């Protein structure tokens, strides 16, 4: 009799353990110039299709409206996009104009995003900066935070379908919805110097994180300088503070935008701004120091 | 002196403890490290020989793992310890302050932000 | 522990055991076991005999003598001595403590195993802190620990045979306390 009891208990245990182990399904695809992965519980796998089509639709919308605006500055973008454009103001304010949705006016002189890369003449840069400050003859690019916004919209789609736990990751700009069955979502922040190492691992629940780095898109100039894709809209040059900046925020759009914005300002300014915004920040400075600001440690693995 | 139950208990506990830690096998992504006194550097798994201590120590590296090939230390324990290939494998040369370790780490995160 | 029958005999016996221990230690460096790095730890027999037949201070004295003289006689002085001295002393201390507490219900078998485990653990600790400063070397500890239990039991067994014989030998009765 005790043996039988033990067996029954054993069975219960196995069933309980099995029940705990919720499995997830991940779909990866190429969009927004990077690999996007959507992870949802296996039972809710149907929602991936909707989320994916949402991402492709929004990506197309951003692209079409940006192109139309760049051809004709008087073009009125659709509502969602003009709201998105207006959000760029916040980042411009934070950085005293170093961030600009028009910084592509400068970066395209260098050949970003597609190449052929070159170092433009100072005169060309000055003209571009002049245009940015006057808002004439500019090239708009929402790339700094549009990706984050699209991730948020995909998450909303997933949430609306009643899914409680999911992750959408667009090349490192990601949102973690809910928790895993046994723990928070865990995200590793890549070491800019070694792509197999991590400088931090954080726990996220209903939070987003995004990272900007000087290693994402860059080219080597003839004089040996490395020139990467983030430009200061007041100088037309690369900012020189960090190798990477990661930001935790409540929306991916904010995390994405701030990670680029903070890239443009010095650590003291970042400290002041992130305190006001309540967004934890991880800075990896050019001289190899790791700075954890505004409560970043609280998110790290216990 | 006669046998005692306490003896058996103590010996059993000691054996069990060492077996327990022995069976605590690591798994996951393999990384080979060379430890030289205070420094620990990762070694890429590709065919080559590494010469250390002015050629007195030679480490052979392959795509699978590594081993101490030659060493002029007295007991040559590091050479006898053989290949460092599987998770947790270690070869140590105390007189030269050298060690080869295969460390494995389970991926303990769900995503990477880069 | 009660003192031995008389002080001269205690001193003589300690010296005898010290010589015995050093001899075993040197002898052992010629015995190669198939498992790399593993030693039987024969000299521990001498230290344990001291613990059982004389007293703890005598055992400590033998331990110090052994861990200085054996490296001196077998070479590679500094490295060996820096590792052997702390680990032999730690092992002797643990065994002394164990004998003090559990003499009534244990035999040298388990005491030997305890001492051997203490010895190997201290060795690793010393190597980790002096020579190879990486936690990774503790990976090897469980294997050595396992073998040390075996060798410890073996040396303990040898010690037990010797003690039993000595105690039955009429000539020795006056030398040691029962």
**Domain range list for chain C:** 7-172
Give the containing element (helix H, strand E) for A83.
helix A79-94
**B/C touch flag: 3 or more CB pairs below 8 Å:** yes
Residue B73 lies in a domain: yes
Number of CB atoms found within 10 A of residue C60's CB: 18
What do you get for the CA distance between the two ends of chain C, in Å?
A: 12
User: B11 and C143 in contact by Cβ < 8 A?
Assistant: no
- The nearest CA of chain C is from the CA of B69 a distance in Å of 15
- Residue B88 domain boundaries: 28-105
Which stretches of chain B score pLDDT less than 70?
Answer: 1-3, 25-26
Separation of alpha carbons A227 and A239, rounded Å: 10
| Secondary structure letter of residue A16 according to DSSP | H
Q: How far is CA B108 from the centre of its chain?
A: 22
Mean pLDDT across chain A: 88
- Count of the separate structural domains present in chain B: 1
Strand pairing report for A207-213 and A242-249: antiparallel
Percentage of chain A beyond pLDDT 90 is: 64
How distant is the Cα of C89 from the closest Cα of chain B, in angstroms? 20
Backbone angles phi, psi at B79, to 5 degrees: -70, -40
- In this complex, the chains that touch C, judged by 3 or more CB pairs closer than 8 A, are B
Place of tokens 């040996």: A224
Distance CA(C146)–CA(C143), nearest Å, equals 5
Query: Is C107 close to B33, i.e. CB distance below 8 A?
Result: no
Q: Is the pLDDT of residue A1 over 60?
A: no
pLDDT category at A243 given cuts 50, 70, 90 is: very high
CATH superfamily of A24-299: ApbE-like domains (3.10.520.10)
The predicted pLDDT at position A63 comes to 93
Q: Which chains touch B (3 or more CB pairs under 8 A)?
A: A, C
A contact residues 144-203, partner B, Cβ 8 Å cutoff: 167, 169, 171-174, 176, 180, 185-190, 195-196, 198, 201
Q: Residue C1: what pLDDT? A: 45
Give the pLDDT of residue C2: 46
Task: Report if residue B6 sits inside a domain.
Answer: no
- Taking only the tens of pLDDT, chain C with its 178 residues reads 444 456 778 888 899 999 999 999 989 888 877 777 788 889 999 999 999 988 899 999 999 999 999 888 887 788 888 999 999 999 999 999 999 998 888 889 999 999 999 999 999 999 888 888 877 788 888 889 999 999 999 999 999 999 888 877 766 655 665 4
Measured in whole angstroms, how far is the alpha carbon of residue A100 from the centre of its chain? 17
Chain B interface, mutation test: which of A184, A186, A200, A249, most B Cβ atoms within 10 Å?
A186
For chain A, list the strands marked E by DSSP. 24-31, 34-41, 166-170, 173-177, 185-191, 194-204, 207-213, 218-220, 226-228, 242-249, 281-285, 290-293
User: In the numeric block, which tokens belong to residue C172?
Assistant: 């020795």
Distance (Å) from the alpha carbon of B30 to chain A's nearest alpha carbon: 12
- Rounded to whole angstroms, how far apart are CA atoms A161 and A23? 18
C153 contacts chain B (CB < 8 A): yes
Of A130, A176, A258, whose CA–CA distance to B110 is shortest?
A176
In the predicted model, is pLDDT for residue A277 greater than 90? yes
Please identify, in words, the CATH class of the domain defined by C7-172: mainly alpha
Interchain proximity C127–B77, CB inside 8 Å: no
pLDDT score of A21 more than 70: no
CATH assignment at residue B67: 2.60.320.10
Residue in A42, A29, A31, A56 with CA at minimum distance from that of residue A157? A56
């Amino acid at each position: 009799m005790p043996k039988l009891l033990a067996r029954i208990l054993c069975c219960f245990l196995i069933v309980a353990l099995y029940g705990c182990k919720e499995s997830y399904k991940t779909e990866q695809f190429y969009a927004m110039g990077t690999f996007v992965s959507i992870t949802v519980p296996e039972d809710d796998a149907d929602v991936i299709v909707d989320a994916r089509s949402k991402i492709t639709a929004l990506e197309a919308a951003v692209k079409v409206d940006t192109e139309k605006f760049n051809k004709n500055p008087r073009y009125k973008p659709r509502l969602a996009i003009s709201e998105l454009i207006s959000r760029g103001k916040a980042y411009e304010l934070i950085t005293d104009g170093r961030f600009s949705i028009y910084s592509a006016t400068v970066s395209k002189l260098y050949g970003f995003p597609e190449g052929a890369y070159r170092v433009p003449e100072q005169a060309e840069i000055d003209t571009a900066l002049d245009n940015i400050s006057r808002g004439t003859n500019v090239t708009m690019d929402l790339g700094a935070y549009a990706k984050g916004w699209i991730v948020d919209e995909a998450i909303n789609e997933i949430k609306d379908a009643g899914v409680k736990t999911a992750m959408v990751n667009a090349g490192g700009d990601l949102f973690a919805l809910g928790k895993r069955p046994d723990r928070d979502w865990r995200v590793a922040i890549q070491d800019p110097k070694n792509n197999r190492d991590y400088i931090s691992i954080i726990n996220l629940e209903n939070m987003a994180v995004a990272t900007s780095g000087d290693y994402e898109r860059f080219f080597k100039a003839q004089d040996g300088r490395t020139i990467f894709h983030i430009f200061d809209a007041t100088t037309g040059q690369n900012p020189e503070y960090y190798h990477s900046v990661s930001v935790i925020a409540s929306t991916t759009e904010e995390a994405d935008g701030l990670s680029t914005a903070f890239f443009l300002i010095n650590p003291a300014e970042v400290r002041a701004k992130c305190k006001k915004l309540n967004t934890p920040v991880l800075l990896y400075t050019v001289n190899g120091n790791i700075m954890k600001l505004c409560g970043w440690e609280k998110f790290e693995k216990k | 002196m006669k046998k005692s139950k306490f003896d058996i208990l103590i010996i059993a506990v000691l054996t069990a403890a060492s077996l327990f830690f022995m069976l605590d096998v690591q798994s996951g992504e393999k990384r080979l490290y060379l430890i030289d006194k205070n420094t620990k550097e990762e070694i890429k798994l590709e065919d080559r020989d590494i010469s250390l201590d002015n050629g007195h120590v030679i480490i052979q590296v392959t795509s699978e793992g590594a081993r101490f090939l030659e060493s002029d230390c007295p007991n040559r324990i590091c050479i006898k310890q053989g290949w460092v290939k599987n998770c947790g494998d270690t070869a140590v040369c105390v007189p030269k302050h050298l060690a080869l370790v295969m460390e494995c780490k389970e991926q303990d995160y769900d995503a990477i932000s880069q | 522990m009660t003192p031995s029958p008389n002080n001269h005999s205690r001193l003589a016996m300690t010296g005898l055991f010290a010589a015995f221990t050093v001899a075993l230690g040197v002898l052992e460096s010629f015995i190669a076991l198939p498992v790399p790095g593993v030693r039987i730890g024969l000299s521990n027999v001498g230290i344990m005999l001291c613990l059982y037949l004389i007293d703890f201070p005598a055992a400590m004295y033998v331990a110090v003598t052994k861990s200085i003289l054996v490296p001196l006689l077998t070479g590679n002085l500094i490295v060996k001595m820096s590792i052997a001295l702390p680990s032999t002393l730690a092992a002797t201390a643990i065994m002394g403590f164990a004998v003090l507490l559990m003499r009534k219900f244990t035999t040298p078998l388990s005491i030997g195993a305890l001492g051997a485990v203490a010895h190997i653990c201290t060795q690793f600790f010393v190597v980790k802190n002096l020579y190879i400063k990486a936690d990774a070397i503790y990976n090897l500890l469980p294997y050595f620990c396992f073998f040390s239990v075996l060798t410890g039991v073996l040396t303990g067994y040898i010690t037990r045979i010797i003690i039993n014989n000595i105690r039955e030998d009429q000539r020795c009765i006056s030398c040691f306390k029962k």
